[in-house]
């Protein structure tokens, strides 16, 4: 399989170009290509003319018009010759149609000024050929007759190899610096995460607590489950999905924790993201009772706010801030059973089925609405919605954010979601 692109440290930047060639038959080859700065798709090839399509207003002014014309001519010649060469190889080695070739190339710039560059070619989602830029050397990535033939052929294309070396060694980094300068506003864009906590019961002796976070940008994020205020370490009970793209140029991720029902512990999903600044988003998981949601249903100390009773008080006088106003938000509570409000527990009237759906004996099932909250927004009112708590508290150290995970080249999408010019 084609190896994933290496992860980059914080403060680095990457300029990558992706191309896909779908050979349907000898007469029809579907081609697509696009360029990314970080994860921003800023340019693509327009079908069927192969003209460059500029997807943001800042892209075209970044380079002189003559440079864009030169790039267009180079790409057109490269793609035309590559298609003819691969069609000839398919005929000679009787490759069955359809088949797919994919290309990923570009450069990565690091904070100390150093950079790396690469060119990878994949065949039917498997590593096929790579270009050693420094040594101007083509290297096959699989032991097949087709790979050996293409390697020998590319080695004879000295003009193409020298041009590729110059583009990756010099042009790529120079252009990246220009794109960073002109596209700074797009690179600094931030979107708040929206977090939802809910539960599933796959079997009577197991409860799956699910924290789904979506709508955030940029991509790096830290999501963790806290048990009685302590972060749950990696293990068989914890499952974190990959960070996946949304259609609106934001991202989503979910983290699932398997627990035993009635275990007496309290659980909170913690979200840390650049858009939240130095604060964290905390969303507790609640348990469903005839009088509504009781958060955590457990005991134990909580970080930053002390004991569980103090968290209950924080719920009633929530320190979460309403967006834009900076004023504290205080959720309304109605129909509390005697003693519950005094303990600081959120509750609603037992005869309000919309809160839970059960008038008596509420089981530990996903019959209650999920707890959901958007970063820096106030908790919803309790009588009609499940309680959500945003305690934007603990400082967010930069080192706690994970590096962006690379996308494997074999899964380059044939038609990425792109903003319209």
Q: Are 278 and 396 in contact (CB under 8 A)?
A: yes
> Where do we find the tokens 């964290």?
280
Q: What is the rounded distance in angstroms from the CA atom of residue 69 to the CA atom of residue 48?
A: 17
- Is the pTM higher than 0.85? The answer reads no
> Where do we find the tokens 């089925």?
353
Task: Find the angle CA(355)-CA(356)-CA(357) to the nearest 5 degrees.
Answer: 115
Q: Angle 145-156/65-92 helices, nearest 10 degrees?
A: 140
Q: Are 20 and 102 in contact (CB under 8 A)?
A: yes
User: Token digits for 25?
Assistant: 């038959």
Q: What is the rounded distance in angstroms from the CA atom of residue 320 to the CA atom of residue 328?
A: 6
H or E stretch covering 373: strand 371-374
Bin 297: left if φ > 0, else alpha if -120 < ψ < 50, else beta. left
88: Cβ contacts below 8 Å, ≥ 6 apart: none
* Residue 140, preceding peptide bond in cis (omega within 30° of 0): no
CATH 3.30.500.10 residue ranges of the chain are 13-187+405-411
User: Token digits for 334?
Assistant: 């109605």
Q: Considering only the top CATH level, what class is 194-390?
A: mainly beta
pLDDT tens, residue order, the chain (421 aa)? 444 454 545 578 999 999 999 999 999 999 999 999 999 999 999 988 999 999 999 999 999 999 999 999 999 999 999 999 999 999 999 999 999 999 999 999 999 999 999 999 999 999 999 999 999 999 999 999 999 999 999 999 999 999 999 999 999 999 999 999 999 999 999 999 999 999 999 999 999 999 999 999 999 999 999 999 999 999 999 999 999 999 999 999 999 999 999 888 999 999 999 999 999 999 998 754 443 444 433 322 333 322 222 222 223 223 332 223 333 333 323 333 333 333 333 333 333 332 333 333 333 333 445 555 665 443 333 222 232 333 333 333 333 333 333 333 333 333 344 444 4
CA 332 to chain centroid: 35
CATH 2.60.40.10 residue ranges of the chain are 194-390
57: Cβ contacts below 8 Å, ≥ 6 apart: none
Superfamily of domain 13-187+405-411 in the CATH hierarchy: MHC class I-like antigen recognition-like (3.30.500.10)
Sign of the C-alpha dihedral computed for residues 406, 411, 414 and 415 taken in this order: negative
Q: What is the rounded distance in angstroms from the CA atom of residue 299 to the CA atom of residue 308?
A: 6
Q: Are 269 and 282 in contact (CB under 8 A)?
A: yes
User: Token digits for 293?
Assistant: 């949601």
């Amino acid at each position: 399989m084609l190896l994933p692109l290496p992860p980059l440290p914080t403060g680095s930047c990457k300029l990558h170009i992706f191309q896909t060639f779908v050979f349907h038959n000898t007469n029809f080859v579907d081609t697509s290509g696009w360029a990314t700065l970080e994860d921003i798709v800023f340019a693509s090839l327009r079908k069927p003319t192969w003209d460059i399509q500029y997807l943001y207003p800042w892209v075209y002014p970044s380079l002189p018009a003559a440079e864009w014309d030169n790039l267009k001519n180079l790409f057109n010649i490269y793609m035309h010759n590559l298609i003819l060469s691969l069609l000839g190889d398919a005929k000679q080695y009787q490759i069955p149609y359809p088949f797919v070739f994919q290309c990923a190339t570009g450069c990565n710039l690091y904070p100390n000024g150093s950079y790396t560059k690469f060119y990878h070619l994949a065949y039917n989602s498997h590593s096929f050929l790579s270009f050693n830029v420094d040594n101007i050397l083509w290297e096959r990535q699989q032991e097949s007759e087709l790979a050996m033939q293409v390697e020998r052929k590319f080695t004879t294309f000295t003009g193409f190899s020298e041009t590729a070396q110059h583009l990756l060694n010099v042009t790529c980094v120079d252009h990246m610096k220009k794109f960073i300068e002109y596209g700074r506003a797009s690179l600094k864009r931030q979107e708040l995460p929206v977090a939802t906590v809910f539960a599933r019961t796959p079997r009577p002796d197991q409860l799956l607590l699910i924290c789904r976070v979506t709508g955030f940008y940029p991509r790096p994020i830290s999501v963790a489950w806290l048990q009685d205020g302590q972060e749950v370490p990696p293990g068989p009970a914890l499952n974190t999905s990959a960070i996946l793209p949304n259609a609106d140029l934001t991202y989503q991720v979910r983290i699932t924790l398997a627990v035993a029902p009635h275990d007496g512990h309290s659980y909170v999903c913690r979200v840390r993201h650049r858009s939240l600044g130095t604060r964290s988003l905390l969303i507790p998981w609640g348990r469903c009772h005839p009088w509504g949601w009781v958060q955590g249903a457990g005991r134990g100390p909580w970080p930053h706010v002390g004991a569980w009773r103090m968290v209950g008080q924080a719920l009633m006088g929530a320190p979460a801030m309403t967006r834009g106003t900076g004023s504290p938000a205080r959720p309304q509570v109605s129909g509390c059973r005697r003693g519950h409000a005094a303990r600081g527990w959120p509750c609603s009237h037992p005869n309000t089925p919309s809160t839970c759906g059960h008038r008596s004996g509420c089981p530990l099932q996903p019959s209650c609405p999920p707890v959901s909250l958007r970063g820096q927004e106030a908790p919803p009112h309790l009588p009609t919605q499940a309680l959500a708590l945003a305690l934007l508290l603990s400082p967010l150290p930069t080192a706690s954010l994970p590096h962006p995970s690379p996308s494997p080249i074999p899964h380059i999408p044939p038609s990425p979601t792109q903003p319209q010019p």
